[in-house]
Amino acid sequence: MKKWLAFFYSLTCVLVIVTVVLFCINLFKEKNTKKEIVEEEKKEEEEKNIIEYKANQTIRVKISKTGEVVAMDINDYLRGVVPAEMPPYYDIEAIKAQAVVARTFTYKRISAYAEGEGIDICDNFAHCQAFYNKEQIIAIWKRKGYDDETIRKYWNNVNEAVVSTQNEVITYKGQLIKAFFHASSPIKTESVEEIWGGEKLPYLVSVENEENEDYENRTSKVEINFEDFITKLKEDNKSRTSLNNSDCKNVKICDYTSSGRVKNIQIGNFKVSAEKLRTLFNLRSTNFTIEIKDNSLVFNVIGNGHGVGLSQVGADTYAKKGYSYKDIINHYYTGVQITKLDN
């Protein structure tokens, strides 16, 4: 009987040991599998990046400051345009809209051969689009006082905006559109021909616009003394020699565009376009009233920019109301399609 008891005892011990060993092996295996999955995911992510690069093309960017031409992947280029053109704290859907606008602008520019032989585009915002490389963008954000965590978040948003809309461009009847955009135009955007003359474009017509009222540059004021005003107008056009300071006393607005911006002003015997005044005197927009003081003119301005196409403040406002980037694009550019380019 004692023998049986001893045998039974030994058997139990062996079984316990075997169970513990099996349990440990399983645990080890599971840990390894988890590690493998993580590594697999990492690899997939890396591959995604490589595929993304293959799918697109190289662009040659002229850096105005140094004159050098830098070849880079178009996605890297757009990662440098989007945050140079739009504040990084805007809603992600607004940033995605900006990415599609920037891509459309870029391809349109390339097809126009605006830079001459061997160059596709330049980094001058007044000629093409603003562009900074990643290091410059991060440095700008640091100077603005954003902490590392915020910078990481902003850069991820820029990256997401470019990658998730990859190869998407805006077309009208199969052609790339002129993707104009501006900072802000409270109430209504502007029809393209009202600002620059020339032909009407069916996708660049005035549309209703909603904007957050707390935007810091929503209103602005520019005061110019009579002498400076007259001198600049004469410099701009030599035929205006008869103008003199006293004409400023009777300056008036002649007419308005369909969106309610000033079209022309009358001074002395001359009509001057509001768009000309905007560029000559750094007015934020042509949506202004004029106040005549003893020795100066005060322009009270609403909005920021030419007012044509997408409004960035409006895009952010609509995004926060739940619009997708496609809704935003379709709102500002009438009758357009968002088309995916073939690789």
Nearer to Zn ion, 128 or 170 (CB): 128
Q: How far is the CB of 264 from Zn ion (least distance, A)?
A: 30
Q: Determine the interface stretch with Zn ion among 63-71, 123-131, 182-190, 262-270 (rule: CB under 5 A).
A: 123-131
Residues forming a β-bridge with 302? 219
Q: How far is the CB of 110 from Zn ion (least distance, A)?
A: 11
Instruction: Give the span between the Cα atoms of 339 and 3, in whole angstroms.
Output: 85
Q: How far is the CB of 102 from Zn ion (least distance, A)?
A: 14
Residue with token string 């927009």:
285
Query: 68-97 as b/e, with b when 16 or more CB fall inside 10 Å?
Result: eeeebbbbbbbbbbbbbbbebebbebbbbb
The residues near 295 (Cβ < 8 Å, ≥ 6 apart) are 225, 226
Q: How far is the CB of 121 from Zn ion (least distance, A)?
A: 6
The DSSP H or E segment spanning 301 is: strand 296-302
Instruction: Give the span between the Cα atoms of 272 and 262, in whole angstroms.
Output: 11
Q: How far is the CB of 115 from Zn ion (least distance, A)?
A: 5
Instruction: Give the span between the Cα atoms of 63 and 331, in whole angstroms.
Output: 33
Nearer to Zn ion, 10 or 111 (CB): 111
Instruction: Give the span between the Cα atoms of 195 and 198, in whole angstroms.
Output: 9
Q: How far is the CB of 64 from Zn ion (least distance, A)?
A: 8
Instruction: Give the span between the Cα atoms of 261 and 285, in whole angstroms.
Output: 8
Which residue type, as a one-letter code, is found at position 190?
A: E
Nearer to Zn ion, 132 or 155 (CB): 132
Q: Determine the interface stretch with Zn ion among 81-89, 119-127, 203-211, 316-324 (rule: CB under 5 A).
A: 119-127
Rg (CA), the chain: 30
**Total binding residues for Zn ion by CB under 5 A?**
3
Q: How far is the CB of 191 from Zn ion (least distance, A)?
A: 25
Q: Which of 31, 42, 127, 153 binds Zn ion (CB under 5 A)?
A: 127
Nearer to Zn ion, 105 or 299 (CB): 105
CA 171 to chain CA centroid, nearest Å: 18
Q: Which two tokens stand for residue 194?
A: 């009202």
Please state, in angstroms and as integers, the Cα–Cα distance from residue 93 to each residue in 27, 82, 99, 103, following that order: 44, 12, 10, 15
Nearer to Zn ion, 128 or 207 (CB): 128
Nearer to Zn ion, 127 or 321 (CB): 127
Q: Which of 82, 100, 102, 128 binds Zn ion (CB under 5 A)?
A: 128
Instruction: Supply φ then ψ for residue 262, to 5 degrees.
Output: -75, 135
Q: Determine the interface stretch with Zn ion among 126-134, 230-238, 239-247, 306-314 (rule: CB under 5 A).
A: 126-134
Q: Determine the interface stretch with Zn ion among 122-130, 176-184, 266-274, 296-304 (rule: CB under 5 A).
A: 122-130
The tally of CA atoms less than 13 A away on the side-chain side of residue 290 is 24
Q: How far is the CB of 119 from Zn ion (least distance, A)?
A: 8
Nearer to Zn ion, 94 or 179 (CB): 179
Q: How far is the CB of 162 from Zn ion (least distance, A)?
A: 20
> What is the bridge-based pairing of β-strands 310-311 and 181-182?
parallel
DSSP string, 34-60: HHHHHHHHHHHHHHHHHHHHHHS-EEE
Site for Zn ion in 234-263 (CB under 5 A): none
State yes or no: residue 122 binds Zn ion (CB under 5 A): yes
Nearer to Zn ion, 118 or 174 (CB): 118
| Residues 68-107, mask of contacts with Zn ion (x by CB under 5 A) | ----------------------------------------
Which residues contribute to the site for Zn ion (CB under 5 A)?
Answer: 122, 127-128
